[in-house]
Amino acid sequence: MPVSEPASPLEAQVLRALDTVQDPELRRPITELGMLKDVRVDAGGGVAVDVLLTIAGCPLRDTITADVERALAAVPGVNAVSVFLDVMTPEQRNALKDRLRGGDPVRTIPFNRPDSLTRVYAVASGKGGVGKSSVTVNLAAAMASLGLRVGIVDADVHGFSVPGLLGITRPPTRVDEMILPPVAYGIKTISIGMFVDGNQPVAWRGPMLHRALEQFLTDVYFGDLDVLFLDLPPGTGDIAISVGQLLPGSEILLVTTPQSAAADVAERAGSVARQTGQKVTGVIENMSWLVLPGGERLEVFGSGGGAAVSGRLGDTLGYPVPLLGSIPLDVALREGGDGGLPVVLADAAGAAAIDGAAENTGEAGDTAAAELRRIARELAHRPRGLAGRSLGVSPV
């Protein structure tokens, strides 16, 4: 039967069920993407579905098959399901890419469009070793668990670590020049680490770093995101400058540790915002203290660094730069990173109770997971102005 013309109530139910099947990478219904070639329903309740894959070597073909079978098995009256996979023609792939790009023939950075509602956070630090990537991944995972559509660009080309922190082992899927990022825990992620073999180093100079970041932002299809995180390399080098040029509307989240040496360097990294025109949204202090077995707090790296950076940057930039939170040293945070499971998700059973208490009392969490979730919730609930943005409506 033609897909668009259900001939019976059962066929109509089958098509409605297929509307719920999403492409695992594009995160949109296969019926909306032109991936549903044909559906046939026989008198005995047998259903045959022809699905068009974007490429012949689609790594998630088995997932798509299983999702179709699961959706149709729940339809009353369906007794058997057969799924047949085919591949899109070049013309069908071009139509798909045009649909995903909204009909825009020019490859642009979608987050710079006037109607984009994606909030872009560039997570920066003055020096390495402060846990910036762990903070990025856990904030992203916490926001995704709140129901937001989240993406990460691992912009630390020389020191990429995001794929490992999220447990991503497979490469992105290429649809001609379009790149579909892998998805882990609801987070669409791209990293140069997905394109190199093993643990090989990436020895690139500034122009190549700029082009790599530009390609990630133009050729990778993230879809409609609520939040995009960029995990920047430490310092004020090429990538930090490129982000200011390529994403002038991005906001900076600055990660530091408590000791004054790290805070001084972090302040320099935040001050770059004066040159790039970006806004520093806030400071996150990591490794703030260690909770000892007896409950006492041991300030391994001293104290006050995050507050000092917050105050000095506010004076330098001329607007308040809040200290968003202080994350304690926590073995669970390290274990989650090593195992590819963000700590904010690892103790999901107790998350609601912990977060509810933190939200009601306004107190910081005693664990890294609780504090990261609190910070993520605060960032997720920040209002954003719509001045100058197209809302897609017109006066009658």
Query: What's the CATH number where 220 sits?
Result: 3.40.50.300
- Within a domain: 389: no
Lowest mean pLDDT among 41-50, 55-64, 164-173: 55-64
* C-alpha distance from residue 351 to each of 142, 145, 279, 289 (Å): 10, 11, 31, 21
Categorize the per-residue pLDDT at 120 as very low, low, confident or very high, splitting at 50, 70 and 90: very high
Of the two residues 387 and 229, the one the predictor is more confident about is 229
Residue range of the domain that includes 67: 9-100
Amino acid (one-letter) located at 54: T
Contact 200, 207 (CB under 8 A): no
Same domain, 120 and 87: no
The residues, ordered by sequence, that sit 6+ positions from 320 with a Cβ below 8 Å of its Cβ are 314
Q: Which of 101-110, 243-252, 295-304, 375-384 has the lowest mean pLDDT?
A: 101-110
pLDDT category at 195 given cuts 50, 70, 90 is: confident
Q: Give the end-to-end CA distance of the chain in Å, rounded to a whole number.
A: 40
Domain-embedded: residue 386: no
**Percentage, residues of the chain above pLDDT 90:** 54
Domain boundary at 38, 71, 100, which? 100
Same domain (yes/no): 345, 212: yes
Does 261 share its domain with 306?
yes
Any domain includes 37? yes
Claim to verify: residue 221 and residue 351 sit in the same structural domain: yes
Residue 394 lies in a domain: no
Last residue of a domain, one of 100, 128, 154: 100
Mean pLDDT of 21-37: 90
Q: Which of residues 59, 80, 100 is at a domain's end?
A: 100
Ranges 59-68, 72-81, 234-243: which has the least confidence:
234-243
Mean pLDDT of 309-336: 93
pLDDT average, residue stretch 14-28: 91
- Residue carrying structure tokens 């090593």: 338
Is 235 a member of any domain? Answer: yes
Helices (H) and strands (E) in the chain, counts: 14, 14
User: Is pLDDT above 70 for 374?
Assistant: yes
Select from 203, 247, 209 the least CA-distant residue to 225. Answer: 247
Phi, psi angles (nearest 5°) of residue 317: -90, -20
Same domain, 236 and 87: no
Give the separation between CA 92 and CA 73, rounded to whole angstroms. Answer: 29
User: What are the residues facing 228 on neighbouring strands?
Assistant: 120, 151
Cβ atoms 284, 253 nearer than 8 A: yes
CB 318 within 8 A of CB 280: no
Q: Based on the structure, what is the number of domains in the chain?
A: 2
Give yes or no for a contact between 168 and 182, defined as CB atoms under 8 angstroms apart. yes
Taking the C-alpha atoms of residue 171 and residue 190, their distance in angstroms, rounded to an integer, is 9
Q: Label residue 362 by pLDDT band (50, 70, 90).
A: very low
In this prediction, residue 384 has a pLDDT band, given cuts at 50, 70 and 90, of: low
Q: Quickly state the pLDDT bin for 67 (edges 50, 70, 90).
A: very high
Domain shared by 208 and 122, yes or no: yes
Instruction: Specify whether 54 is located in the same domain as 119.
Output: no
Of the pLDDT bands very low, low, confident and very high (cuts 50, 70, 90), residue 161 is very high
Domain annotation covers residue 238: yes
Assess whether 237 and 136 both reside in one domain.
yes
Q: Does residue 329 share a domain with residue 278?
A: yes
Question: Would 392 be classed as within a structural domain?
Answer: no
